[in-house]
Amino acid sequence: MRIAIASDHAATDLKAELRDWLIEEGHEVADLGPEPGESVDYPDYGRKLADVVSEGTAERGIALCGSGIGISMACNRNPEIRCALVSEPLSAALAREHNDANVIAMGARLTGGEMAKACVTAFLSTDFAGGRHQRRVDKLSFLEN
């Protein structure tokens, strides 16, 4: 699977850990930055990630910042993105199954590497259920209209 990953400066270590692990698992990973040691603004990296996923360059995205909150808000400014803030595997699986999430966000200050990997595994291995959920997901793109 083609996966894009981005973070702010608070989450570069977790980003690198997840990127390397995903590559070992056989995924194609686009690391959108930043490099360790740079102080950056999470909205810039949330937008980069959202653009790559909405354009179809990546099938899924992983957004990281200190809490996961700010970068998830930034991603969700793009109407093609359904980014869910997750902290454990059940929320990651339900985000896919019920909400057809195409991006997950996590907080590096709140979620350790092993839990983050468990969340990513659930996110990538769960299919969207469709059915009654499709109607609800369709409405998400039209909330501003």
Q: Does residue 133 have an active-site annotation? A: no
Tell me: is residue 69 an annotated ligand-binding position: yes
- 89-99 and 113-125 helices cross at what angle (nearest 10)? 20
Residues 6+ apart with CB under 8 A from 16: 36
Burial readout 26-53 (b: 16 or more C-beta within 10 A, e: otherwise): ebebbbbbbeeeeebebbbbbbbbbbbb
Tell me: is residue 68 an annotated ligand-binding position: yes
Q: Does residue 27 have an active-site annotation? A: no
Which one of 75, 98, 119, 133 is the catalytic residue? 98
Tell me: is residue 66 an annotated ligand-binding position: yes
**Longest C-alpha distance within the chain, in Å?**
45
Which one of 65, 75, 83, 119 is the catalytic residue? 65
Tell me: is residue 67 an annotated ligand-binding position: yes
Tell me: is residue 56 an annotated ligand-binding position: no
Helix (H) or strand (E) holding 139: helix 132-140
Tell me: is residue 41 an annotated ligand-binding position: no
Tell me: is residue 9 an annotated ligand-binding position: yes
- Residue positions forming the annotated binding site: 8-9, 66-70, 99, 109, 132, 136
- Residue positions forming the annotated binding site for D-ribulose 5-phosphate: 8-9, 66-70, 99, 109, 132, 136
Catalytically active residues, by annotation: 65, 98
